[in-house]
Amino acid sequence: MANDPQVKELLVDSQCYSSDAIRAFLRYSRRHSDDNLYNTLPRTGSCAQHVANELFPEWYKRDTLLNFCENMAQERLKDIKLDRNPDDVKSLTQVDPRIDAYGARDSVKSADPSKEDNVLQWVQTERNIEAIIRETSADLLADKCGSFSTSPQYYMNSYQAGSFNK
């Protein structure tokens, strides 16, 4: 799935920091797979072919992008923490209360989140959106296709194992 040219061009660190392109792809993917699921599922018979060829590959692409950005941000945060000298951090956060009585409180408030923290925040937001959309899709699959599970994770595990047959 990461061989998809559209996904491949988004798997770049800079795309994670400026998330507009990735978020546009996520919206497009959701609109053309999950949002149209009710209309695109076959009216009779098994839904397996449509779901395995259309829906689950889109879920996998979205997971690939979110995992990439999350891993990139976590690695960078880990590198930043390793590069930082503990004495420097201590001197930045310690404020002599005799000089500035409210300095300690203000220094905590003024610490802006890093770019990596912002990436992790938008990834978490998108994961929450994914969870809601996938729950809705799994419920629809259970209703319309007679599937035996309403767990999106069950469907993804079956798809990735190559055993999705319902």
Look over the chain and give the mean of its residue pLDDT values, rounded to a whole number.
Answer: 80
Share of the chain above pLDDT 90, in %: 38
At 38, the pLDDT band (50, 70, 90 cuts) reads confident
Amino acid found at 122: W
> How far is 56 from 158, CA to CA, in rounded Å?
10
- Band (pLDDT 50/70/90 cuts) for residue 166 is very low
In this predicted structure, the answer to whether residue 23 has a pLDDT above a threshold of 70 is yes
Please state, as a whole number, how many other Cβ atoms lie within 10 Å of the Cβ of residue 31. Answer: 10
Q: Contact 26/58 with Cβ under 8 angstroms? A: no
Higher pLDDT, 62 or 45: 62
pLDDT tens digits, 72-119: 999 998 888 777 655 554 455 566 666 776 666 665 554 567 899 999
Residue 160: name the closest of 56, 65, 66 by CA.
Answer: 56
